[in-house]
Structure 1
Amino acid sequence: MLQRSFYERPVIQVARELIGCYLVREIDGEKLIGKIVETEAYAGPLDRAAHSYSNCPTERTKAMFQEAGHAYIYEMHTHALLNVVTGRVGQPHGVLIRAVEPIAGLEIIEQNRATVKRQIDWTNGPGKLTKAFNITKELYGHSLNESPLYIEDSERFVDIARSPRVGIANSGQAAHYPWRFFERNNAYVSAFRK
């Protein structure tokens, strides 16, 4: 399990180094495991695309101001999206987990995505992976250092690429920040759309 010190570092470094790590969700004694293959960094008050850009905690963003290593989960278009809080307390930076490659618990993942025909589409987007892993707003503020949701250490020698973030609109220059990281040539990376 990754220690809090991993998350206490700069958000862009954490976003890059989460690639190849394993997202683990425990449900009824079963472990659902996915290799993280895509992330995006959001640098709080410096970043117009971040929910915490105003640097003022709200009911929605209060988890972003907690200690590093907590889950910040929000809903967008009926999808829950999982973010990892990074940096120091009161420094509201976070990493969006955009895609994972399913590794274990495939039967449960398949049940959770029963309406999706192709396995490749189970977890190749931020809303898809939370449905597959049954990650809901009930886990908002959860410490990612303990069950039932945590992240384990990474594979070594993952070929990592970077690009601008996906779907950032009306954010001025923030739309062009190259703060999206992904495993090169991994089929579970979401399709890039400007």
Structure 2
Amino acid sequence: MPPAPRRALPRSFFDRPVLDVAPDLLGRLLVHETDDGRTVLRITEVEAYDGGVDPGSHAYRGQTPRNSAMFGPPGHLYVYFTYGMHFCVNVVCGPDGKASAVLLRAGEIVEGVGLARTRRPGAKRDTELAQGPARLTVALGIGREHDGVDACAPGTAFRLLRGTPVEPGMIRSGPRTGVAGDGGDGERYPWRFHVAEDRTVSPYRAHVPRVRRNPVRAAADPSGTL
């Protein structure tokens, strides 16, 4: 008899190499229970980040207060703030003390669509509610206060469920989206995994190096940064 789709994933699922966990997360379910209600996400796009051996990882240069959740234990969430406006959520994996995590890039809201719409009123279609890592956290009500939460602990507001794993033939891989540390070498880091032909998957965008602006013009334009 196959495992029940609504059964929680055990911590041992996450206590594996990040490149094994990442594609295996596709089709799994992330549940967030709040006072406003429950939202459930079917994961359709992820990216793997492998700590000290990965130039694109936040933990490449070691542990800091910001990235400490990445160092374990597995099954915890790592939530970070980026671009001064967005939160992104990762699931920590690998052995405790070794930093690695899987970024949840996109998914389909399969329960709590109405609640997700109130959180993301600008979404034109339901397929856009969690189409991208920043949209995903808003739709699910995830913020910095959830950094380090144990998604495998009994009674937690978050649960990762078995769902329906994606068949290997339906999984695609390629370079990660907008990652400076990859150095444009998508063949070396094909660590973005997504469900083929799924409309909730976010568009791929290569990293664009920041151009340093003329300091005189920048001073006259306070909206920009150097």
Fold-level similarity (TM above 0.5)? yes
- Within the candidate set 158, 164, 179, 2:191 is matched to 179
- Within the candidate set 87, 100, 110, 1:103 is matched to 110
- Within the candidate set 70, 76, 100, 1:70 is matched to 76
Contact 1:35 1:103 in 2 (8 A): yes
Match of 1:128, SS state, is helix
Q: Which has the higher contact order (CA 8 A, sep 6+)?
A: 1
Matched, 1:123 2:134: no
Please name the residue that 1:153 is paired with: 162
- Aligned positions of 1:162-177 closer than 5 A: 162-172=173-183, 176=187, 177=189
Please identify, of 146-155 and 71-80, the stretch whose mean Cα deviation from structure 2 is larger: 146-155
The Cα of 1:169 is off from its aligned counterpart by 1.9
Task: Please report the TM-score for the alignment, with normalisation by the length of structure 1.
Answer: 0.94
> 1:125 and 1:157, CA in 2 relative to 1: closer, same or farther beyond 3 A?
closer
Runs of 4+ more than 6 Å apart: none
Match of 2:180, SS state, is coil
Please report the RMSD computed on the Cα atoms of aligned residues, expressed in angstroms. Answer: 1.5
Contact 1:44 1:52 in 2 (8 A): yes
The Cα of 1:154 is off from its aligned counterpart by 2.9
Amino acid at match of 1:160: I
The Cα of 1:173 is off from its aligned counterpart by 6.3
Aligned mates of 2:190, 2:59 — CA distance in 1: 19
The Cα of 1:133 is off from its aligned counterpart by 0.6
Aligned length: 193
Aligned mates of 2:157, 2:200 — CA distance in 1: 23
Please name the residue that 2:210 is paired with: none
Match of 2:21, SS state, is helix
Aligned mates of 1:37, 1:46 — CA distance in 2: 26
- Within the candidate set 140, 145, 152, 1:138 is matched to 145
Match of 2:159, SS state, is strand
1:81-113 per-position Cα deviation (integer Å, ceiling 9, x unaligned): 001111111100010000011100011001000
Please name the residue that 2:214 is paired with: none
Contact 1:49 1:174 in 2 (8 A): no
Please identify, of 34-43 and 169-178, the stretch whose mean Cα deviation from structure 2 is larger: 169-178
Task: Please report the TM-score for the alignment, with normalisation by the length of structure 2.
Answer: 0.81
Match of 2:22, SS state, is helix
Aligned mates of 2:44, 2:122 — CA distance in 1: 23
Contact 1:47 1:174 in 2 (8 A): no
Aligned mates of 2:128, 2:36 — CA distance in 1: 25
Aligned mates of 1:99, 1:48 — CA distance in 2: 23
> 1:157 and 1:69, CA in 2 relative to 1: closer, same or farther beyond 3 A?
closer
